């Protein structure tokens, strides 16, 4: 079974920050204004508090988010990747870091890597589908924009 002990403190911080990085990558791909950002943030929160989520490494990450220390750890990991960057730079930085985290998880917990990758991809898809892009006052627009679709594809490749 995967556990926090398989990782150094720095590595664990990066792993715990992965769901937030995936969410911000999709959000930054096509910023949809305040309301869209709120919906997309809510989708991330829903995924990291899902009581029906699988056990193993994913379950341990979710459990980490139940603590203030875990949330602070994830927030710090996110800020270190996105602070002072423009949206397109945020997407690039997040995808690079997620690829590195995926490799790390594969090395440290090979039996858990597929579940981890599937969870991150599902979370990113939930974020993309949370808000409507384009339109006016919530009318019109599309559920997942072309930019978000491209980012989801790039994310799946980065995690593989």
pLDDT digits (tens, 9 = 90+) for 70-100: 888 888 888 888 888 898 999 999 999 999 9
Q: Return the structure tokens found at 21.
A: 């990085």
- Predicted confidence at residue 47, as pLDDT, reads 64
Number of domains in the chain: 1
Instruction: State the average pLDDT for the chain.
Output: 82
- Predicted confidence at residue 55, as pLDDT, reads 77
The pTM of this model reads 0.83
Q: In angstroms, rounded to a whole number, what is the distance separating the alpha carbons of residues 118 and 111? A: 13
Q: Return the structure tokens found at 102.
A: 């995926």
| C-alpha angle 150-49-151 in degrees, rounded to nearest 5 | 5
- Predicted confidence at residue 38, as pLDDT, reads 56
**What residue numbers bound the domain in which 40 lies?**
4-159
- Predicted confidence at residue 79, as pLDDT, reads 82
The three-state (H, E, C) secondary structure of the chain, written as one string = CCCHHHCCHHHHHHHHHHHHHHHHHHHHHCCCHHHHHHHHHHHHHHHHCCCCCCCHHHHHHHHHCCCHHHHHHHHHHHHHHHCCCCHHHHHHHHHHHHHHHHHHHHHHCCCCHHHHHHHHHHHHHHHHHHCCECCECCECCECCCHHHHHHHHHHHHHHC
């Amino acid at each position: 079974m995967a556990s926090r002990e398989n990782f150094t403190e720095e590595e664990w911080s990066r792993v715990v920050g992965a769901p937030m990085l995936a969410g911000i990558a999709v959000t930054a791909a096509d910023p949809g204004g305040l309301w869209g950002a709120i919906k997309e943030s809510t989708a991330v929160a829903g995924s990291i508090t899902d009581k029906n989520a699988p056990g193993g490494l994913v379950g341990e990450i979710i459990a980490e988010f139940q603590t203030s220390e875990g949330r602070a750890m994830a927030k710090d990991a996110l800020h270190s990747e996105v602070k002072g960057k423009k949206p397109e730079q945020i997407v690039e930085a997040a995808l690079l870091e997620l690829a590195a985290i995926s490799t790390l998880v594969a090395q440290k917990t090979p039996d858990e890597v597929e579940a981890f990758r599937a969870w991150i991809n599902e979370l990113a898809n939930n974020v993309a589908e949370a808000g409507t892009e384009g339109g006016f006052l919530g009318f019109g627009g599309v559920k997942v924009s072309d930019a978000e679709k491209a980012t989801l594809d790039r994310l799946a490749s980065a995690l593989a």
